[in-house]
Amino acid sequence: MKFISTIFIFLFLLSCSTTYKNKNPSGEKLPSFSGESLSGQKFVFPKDLGKNMTLMLFGYKQETQFDIDRWLIGLDMKNVDITVIEVPTIQGFIPRLLKDKIDSGMRRGIPSELWSSVITVYNDGETIQKFTGNENPNNARVLLIKEAKVKFFYDRGFSVSTLNELISEINPK
């Protein structure tokens, strides 16, 4: 009986993640949060972004990787020259306990030369998800950041027309 109650508590804790209504944070300052790259480097944002424009692709669950990959392929095919950071952002107590296992799994699926641009966020996952909303979590949150402010935001899945809008923000004519 003790074993069954332990499993129930574990499953309950796994399901305890809060849903936040989606919102467009364009024009707002990126909240402060910290993370660690898969190569082991610690970051504090927005401080570590500096003044250069940076594209941040936030993913709130494993299935978001499909959307992120489409954005990355589109940017590459259009030869867009910008720093891109993938930010797996996970909220909840249990994922923080499993951080090493989750990061290890990501390392197995990502070439080591890309590890420095994948920065996982655990402790501040809720802060980020509250900032953008996390409804429809399979969609990436695409944020173009300049001087700590959101210059462009999109969260409805990859589209070529939106990619072109983003490129226009990165390289205004």
Is 108 domain-assigned? Answer: yes
Over the stretch 84-142, which tens digit does the pLDDT of each residue have?
Answer: 999 999 877 766 667 888 788 888 888 999 999 999 999 999 999 999 999 999 999 99
Q: Among 39-43, 49-53, 54-58, name the one with the lowest average pLDDT.
A: 49-53
Task: Report which of 121, 94, 96, 110 is spatially closest to residue 37, judged by C-alpha positions.
Answer: 121
If one counts every other C-beta atom within 10 angstroms of the C-beta of residue 156, the result is 12
Using the structure block, give the residue that is written with the tokens 């462009």.
Answer: 152
Q: What angle do CA 152, 157, 42 make, to 5 degrees?
A: 60
CB-based contacts of 91, cutoff 8 Å, min separation 6: 17, 18, 125, 126, 129
Question: What's the predicted TM-score (pTM) here?
Answer: 0.88
Which pLDDT belongs to residue 5?
A: 40
CATH classification at residue 65: 3.40.30.10
> What is the percent of the chain with per-residue pLDDT over 70, rounded to a whole number?
88
Number of domains, the chain: 1
Domain membership flag for residue 18: no
Per DSSP, what are the bridge partners of residue 154? 142
Please, which pLDDT band fits residue 11 given cuts at 50, 70 and 90?
Answer: very low
In a domain, 29, yes or no: no
